Homo-oligomer: A and B are copies of this chain.
Amino acid sequence: MISQEKNSGSAADIPITTDRAHPVTLREVAEAAGVSTATVSLVINKKKNARIADDTRQRVQEAIQLLGYRPNAMAKNLVSGTSKFIGLVADGVATTPFAGQIIHGAQDEAWKHGYALLIANTEGNVDLERDAIAMMLEYKVRGILYSTWFHRATEVPETLRESDFVLVNCFSPDSPASRAVVPDEAQGGKSATEILLRGGHRRIAFINTTTPAPAKDGRLEGYREALEAEGIAFDPELVMEAYPDQEGGYGATEELLKLNVSAVYCYNDRMAMGLYDGLREHGLAIPEDMAVVGFDNQEVIAAHLRPPLSTVSLPHYELGAAGVRMLLGLDQAAGDGPVKIACPAVERASVAVHTAA
């Protein structure tokens, strides 16, 4: 025990160990420094018009160091009347692989502005959701980010309206006034198709999902737009549908092959992964015999398929960050409707580069 003291270089560095049950308070610092609590408060908050004698300031700083003082954020918030919290309620962001990025983006951006993130995963349970929102309201959060793990329409829970809020990765049809940020599916679908177009392909199939969703419509719309921009007539025959996972993609192989296309754009990366298997079984090489692009940029898959998959990225991180910016009123509110975040193309090796004739 005693031998430890040998190491104590500068005494000021080593706070007197404090009882965890009773943290050091402002008042104790004041007493130790022989000043009033008001003075200590002033030096801590570095008030501009804080005319404090240098040596007083000095004494206070030392007392703070010595005692290992930590301000009590709750007391601060109480008196200021405003908290420094932003709530994030998710229906499953933490559950699904890559969408945890929404948390990440929100947290980084919140932090940047001095806010802490209070999170709650409700797994879609309505009671849990109500409780979570209530909790956040009780902590007087600055606002709440309400997010879903996949892009969809949602109802805004009544209690949510007691606070500022923004919808992230979802939107509300019945309350057009609510603010929301969603991925730009149409632009993403357009970008995906363009990768193929740039590869010199003209006859391009699209395997859409069977599940109704904004993504289904948007990604198709983008496909049409890209085609039209190139003067290629949209051919409904080239649009197939399959369940949006590996099995769906695999199962779509036969039908795809009948279409006589040189390239295919899949609704998502998982589908593309399944399609890789199907194509391989037919002895077809990617991208030589068939160029493939996906959607989502699900790293574990897309970056490591053979060959690595060209795709389009779902901007989860940006969604979270843009959500807090919108909440804080930092982004110029655009027109009506949800703000759309771009889905950038990520080109890898599943589409050969086109050597123009």
Question: Contact partner of A138 among B68, B70, B98, B247, CB < 8 A?
Answer: B70
Residue of A100, A138, A163, A273 ringed by the most chain B CB atoms within 10 A: A100
Residue of A68, A94, A111 with highest tally of chain B CB at under 10 A: A94
Complex Cα distance A120/B107, Å?
A: 7
A163 and B306 contact, Cβ closer than 8 Å, known pairs A121-B108, A139-B116: no
Does chain B have a CB within 8 A of A77? Answer: yes
Instruction: Return the chain B residue nearest A76 by Cβ.
Output: B138
Tell me which residues across on chain B come within 8 A of A23, comparing CB atoms: 140
Given A108-B121, A118-B118, A304-B273, also A20-B73 (CB < 8 A): no
- CB < 8 Å: which of B128, B164, B299 contacts A97? B299
**Contact mask A127-148 → B, CB, 8 Å, 1/0?**
0100010110111100000000
A134 neighbours in B (Cβ, 8 Å): 70
Whose C-beta in chain B lies nearest to the C-beta of A107? B121
- The 8 Å CB contact of A74, one of B74, B94, B163, B250, is B74
- Cα distance A119–B70 when bound, in Å? 19
What's the Cα separation between A299 and B140 when bound, in Å? 38
Complex: how many Å from CA A119 to CA B117? Answer: 6
Q: Which residues of B contact A139 (CB under 8 A)?
A: 73-74, 116
* Nearest-Cβ distance from residue A174 to partner chain B, whole angstroms: 15
A20 to chain B, nearest CB (A): 7
Q: How many copies of this chain are found per oligomer?
A: 2
**A135 contacts which of B116, B132, B274, B305 (Cβ < 8 Å)?**
B116
Contacts of A250 in B (CB 8 A): 306
Chain A interfacial residues counted at CB < 8 A: 60
Q: Can you pick out 10 interface pairs between chain A and chain B where the beta carbons lie within 8 Å of each other?
A: A20-B162, A20-B164, A22-B81, A73-B140, A95-B101, A103-B121, A246-B306, A274-B306, A280-B280, A301-B301
Q: Does A71 contact B (CB under 8 A)?
A: yes
- Measured CB to CB, the nearest residue on chain B to A98 is B97
Interface string of A247-291 (1 = CB under 8 A from B): 100100000000000000000001001100100100000000000
Cβ contact within 8 Å between A118 and B121: no
Asked whether A140 and B72 contact (CB < 8 A) given A95-B100, A95-B101, A117-B119, the answer is yes
Query: B304, A246: Cβ atoms under 8 Å?
Result: yes
Chain B residues with CB under 8 A of A75: 78
A229 contacts chain B at the CB level, 8 A cutoff: no
Chain B residues with CB under 8 Å of A98's CB are 97
Q: Closest approach, in angstroms, between the C-beta of A67 and any C-beta of chain B? A: 12
Nearest 5 CB-CB pairings of A with B:
A100-B100, A246-B304, A97-B97, A73-B138, A94-B104
